[in-house]
Amino acid sequence: MKSRMTICLTLLLLVGASTLVNAQGIPSPLGIVPEPTPQPLTVSIWTDKSTYVVGETLRVYYAVSQSAYIYLYDIQSDGVVRLVFPNAYSQSNFVSAGTHVLPDHSSYQYTVTYPAGLEKLQIFASPVPLSLTPNAYGEPFPMTTPGEIQGRIMGITPTPTWVTAWVSLTVNAPPSYGYTPPFYGYTPPYGYPPSSPPSYGRWPGGGWYWEDGQWQYGRPSSGWYWYFGPDGKWHFTIRIRIGGN
């Protein structure tokens, strides 16, 4: 099973009243970092559709005017920010001038999931590396924060040598057909977890648990999780926490 990636995006408002300007010179929403210095380099981004239904796969296209390092962020509506390119499956992000597509090979894919609504993707391009990639990938699509991104970009390049662009898309919930009988009892807020472990994260000691409708890397303080052991097999484990410690 191919890796899945949540494309649940909304641009965070972090920079007071300043705005980002995309590669076409059109004012864009307030972004992760302040407005860059104008550069000969340009970048643009678009998706294969403007509207998606939960469960569909998504393809992202981008174009750069010259060779550059590319960074693509998924900014979810709940405030979670993930670096979706480069990632654990595709770590080489220096690309030639021209048009490119993501995913860039068949070992992973982007699958649209909840929540529904207006989503956004933001791309950064730079002729020099911005050191935004982790030293090691503890999860396929690393979680980060806007503050961390801003600090790394502005700290490494006092005079910014990067450009940015963004794209918005609409995510709709799948249609409901037929009569649904009433259910009496407790309904988990994000549905039941999958009955099988994730298709990624196969390294000894890696643990994954289901929370907020998606796989989370690590082990919860209590509850069940999947653990990939040194024997090369998945192990289903339940951790029970008793008392306050």
Give pLDDT, residue 225: 76
214 and 115 in a common domain? no
Q: Which of 126, 153, 172 is the C-terminal boundary of a domain?
A: 172
168 and 50 in a common domain? yes
Give pLDDT, residue 226: 78
Residue 135 lies in a domain: yes
Q: Which of 121, 148, 172 is the C-terminal boundary of a domain?
A: 172
57 and 145 in a common domain? yes
Q: Which of 146, 172, 198 is the C-terminal boundary of a domain?
A: 172
129 and 44 in a common domain? yes
212 and 167 in a common domain? no
- Residue 157 belongs to what domain range? 20-172
Residue 65 lies in a domain: yes
Query: Rounded to a whole number, what is the distance in angstroms from the first to the last CA of the chain?
Result: 38
Number of domains the chain is built from: 2
Long-range contacts of 33-40 (CB under 8 A, 24+ apart): 33/146, 33/149, 33/150, 33/153, 33/154, 33/164, 34/150, 34/154, 36/160, 36/161, 36/162, 36/163, 36/164, 37/159, 37/160, 37/161, 39/127, 39/161, 39/162, 39/163, 40/65, 40/66
CB 123 within 8 A of CB 45: yes
235 and 123 in a common domain? no
Task: Give me the tens of pLDDT residue by residue for the chain, a chain 245 residues long.
Answer: 444 444 333 333 333 333 334 444 444 444 555 555 556 899 999 999 999 988 899 999 999 999 999 999 988 777 778 899 999 999 999 999 999 999 998 889 998 877 778 888 899 999 999 888 888 888 888 888 887 887 777 765 455 678 999 988 888 888 866 555 554 444 444 444 566 777 666 667 777 777 777 777 777 777 777 777 777 777 777 766 555 55
* CATH (domain of 142): 2.60.40.1930
Residue 183 lies in a domain: no
141 and 90 in a common domain? yes
Provide CB contacts within 8 A for 60, sequence distance 6+. 45, 46, 47, 48, 72, 101, 102, 110, 121, 167
Which residue do the tokens 């009955």 mark? 195
Residue 66 lies in a domain: yes
Indicate the SS3 state at residue 149: helix
Residue 154 lies in a domain: yes
Give pLDDT, residue 92: 94
Measured CA distances, 222 to 47, 73, 110, 139 (Å): 39, 31, 30, 21
220 and 101 in a common domain? no
38 and 140 in a common domain? yes
**Cα dihedral sign, 90-44-122-161:** positive
